[in-house]
Structure 1
Amino acid sequence: MTEQFTDYDSPWKEVIESFFPRFLEYFFLDAYIVIDWERDYEFLDTELQQLEPDAEIGKRLVDKVAKVWLLDGEEAWVLIHVEVQGQYDSKFAERMYTYNYRLFDRHKKQVISLAVLADESASWRPSSYNYQLGGCRVSLEFPIAKLLDYEADWESLEQSTNPFSIVVMAHLRTKATNRNPESRLQWKLSLVRSLFERGYDREYILGLFRFIDWVMVLPEELANNFKTELRSYEEVNRMRYVTSIERLAKAEGIEEGIEQGIEQGILQNARDSVIEVLETRFGEVPSSIVEVVNQIEESAVLKMLLKRAIAIPSVAEFEQLLSNIASPE
């Protein structure tokens, strides 16, 4: 097992979107306490690409921009960057500054710039950018959260109820077990069990399980052992979420079976799988969605819907997706 097979960007992006207030509460309390969480916030997925369309910014999946409302009634923007590559980047601070001033220039709103450093270099801690010339001085200081620092207080991670304590533990143990799959299996089992022990609700359990399962990749044999242990845990503890978790873990693999079924002309199996994934992630699915999905005859559309069902943030957004398909502009 090597580090190159571990996808960190996509799960970090998803878990930040799923639990955004708890993300800020855990890592950046100063930002959390000035935001009015009674009002809606909005992620703008294309905002960074519009700011710098020709640069690498469009490829960095963990750059996030959220539009929020402050407690004083003002609108503001939260700019988040998670650096997971584990390598020194001499341009990182400059890039944070560039994104900050371009976002301000574009919208004329206050900008909060934040950085999570999930790399493996203990000494790399960029937190400011500045230059001065001819009596003029420009600078930006931005808060950072260095994940390696949390390793020293593992007990606090275990005692915290914030979901991002689990995220940090999963990330750190994935890095630490890069060459030890047996150890990774044990940590993965331990972290999944802790989801139930902390008393999280369905949304938290499934969302955090997805992060753990996504980053803590196991060889096929150990992955099968993990599923077996998961089933045993369900039987002993009678946990009603475990079966759903196992189904969610298989969600990405369903696509292959759907493709085979489609080739054999079994479209209904494909429709059922789309609904099953939605039920696993969100519980009861509105009958309006079920009716529309059951009317779809195109195999390519069903395959696309399955992929979206696995990652889409809400049932409402999935319903909007179906509406767009039924009534394309």
Structure 2
Amino acid sequence: MTEELSRADNDSPWKEILEAYFPQAMQFFFPETAALINWQRPHEFLDKEFQQIAREAEVGRRYADKLVKVWLLQGEEIWLLIHVEIQATSEDNFAERMFSYNLRIYDRFGKPAISLAILCDADPTWRPNQYNYNYPNTRLNFEFGIVKLLDYQNHWAELETSDNVFATVVMAHLKTQQTTKKLGVRKSEKFGLIRRLYELGLPEKDIRNLYRFIDWVMILPKALEAEFWQEFKQFEQEQTVSYITTGERIGYERGKEEGKQEGKQEGKQEGKQEQGQILVLRLLQRRVGELPQELRGRIQILSLEQLEALGEALLDFTTIEDLLNWLTAN
């Protein structure tokens, strides 16, 4: 599998963007369900609970699954199972798997779950939304909600005028699909989508989050990527802002060759350390949220050995206080 395909199938950017903007995702993709939820009460991602009911993913397939506890307007607690089907091809037993997850959630935790799926494939005819069987004395019909990203191609003008961040997510996904064999066009489309973030006047945090998603899914060959990065740096200079720096271009290796003298061990070590910093900062943001600049600075001066130790320890972090305690002890 090529480098581009292996990255494009990865679920990490979807999980990250869903966690960062879950209410907006629900309002964009499933407005009827979103209207039932009391968004004034905090929602909670139930990753450990989902791991207890989910089988190991089939080799070669990629999913982005989220089990989320929310509160209805009437005060009732309910769980949402959000599934993002990343794979580019359809799956025969998809509806059965959705039913199985729903049943296991109720069986293990005694909680009903609203099951919803976001289909990212390119097959316009594949639209699984129910699982059923029918016998003389027993019958079942399990239905779940789906959205097909491909359908938004016919609503491009609405995407361009939407103020929901997931309009940009869908635009990036569709442009990636449309430019599989037109990578020069992809470079232009990628630049246009990122420039649009600034033109919309979005807050810096939203620009960074959406930039990461676009940068991850709209993969370019190294030569075109170098051209894109130079054009982007020039654009930011013209905007008199610098939201995206080399060290913050997380997701996969990017620009770590800068300043490295090829073939020298010292340069290789610096590249590994920068890569470690990028990965640890990314994981920390997912675990405890946006980090203050002071904490980012303390992490960026850690040795490679300390970064590796922090990378293991942060799996148990739930708050910024956990990070502070670790930095104090180490």
Shift of 1:187: 0.4
Deviations 1:287-323 (A, max 9, x none): 6x766x58966x33314647999xx9xx974542464
Structure 1 outlier segments of 4+, above 3 Å: 1-5, 52-57, 250-258, 260-279, 281-287, 293-297, 303-309, 315-319, 321-328
Query: Structure 1 residue 48 and structure 2 residue 56: aligned?
Result: no
Question: What is the aligned residue count?
Answer: 318
Aligned-partner Cα distance in 2 for 1:253–1:266: 10
Match of 2:114, SS? strand
Task: Trace 1:1-329 onto structure 2 (pairs within 5 A).
Answer: 3-53=5-55, 56=58, 60-241=62-243, 244-249=244-249, 252-253=252-253, 282=290, 284-286=292-294, 293=299, 299-303=304-308, 305=310, 317=319, 319-321=321-323, 323=325
TM-score by length of 2: 0.81
* Unmatched tracts of structure 2, length 5 or more: none
Match of 1:200, SS? coil
Aligned-partner Cα distance in 2 for 1:269–1:5: 20
Deviations 1:191-234 (A, max 9, x none): 00011112211221111100000011111111111111112212
Identity of aligned residues (%): 38
* Unmatched tracts of structure 1, length 5 or more: none
Whether contact under 8 Å (2:251, 2:279) holds in the other structure is no
Closer, same or farther: CA 154–255 of 1 in aligned 2, 3 Å: closer
Closer, same or farther: CA 166–125 of 1 in aligned 2, 3 Å: same
Closer, same or farther: CA 326–222 of 1 in aligned 2, 3 Å: same
Aligned-partner Cα distance in 2 for 1:225–1:78: 42
TM-score by length of 1: 0.82
Return the letter of the residue paired with 1:14: E
Whether contact under 8 Å (2:67, 2:81) holds in the other structure is yes
Match of 2:172, SS? helix
Match of 1:190, SS? helix
Aligned-partner Cα distance in 2 for 1:198–1:308: 39
Aligned-partner Cα distance in 2 for 1:42–1:133: 39
Closer, same or farther: CA 151–77 of 1 in aligned 2, 3 Å: same
Closer, same or farther: CA 148–132 of 1 in aligned 2, 3 Å: same
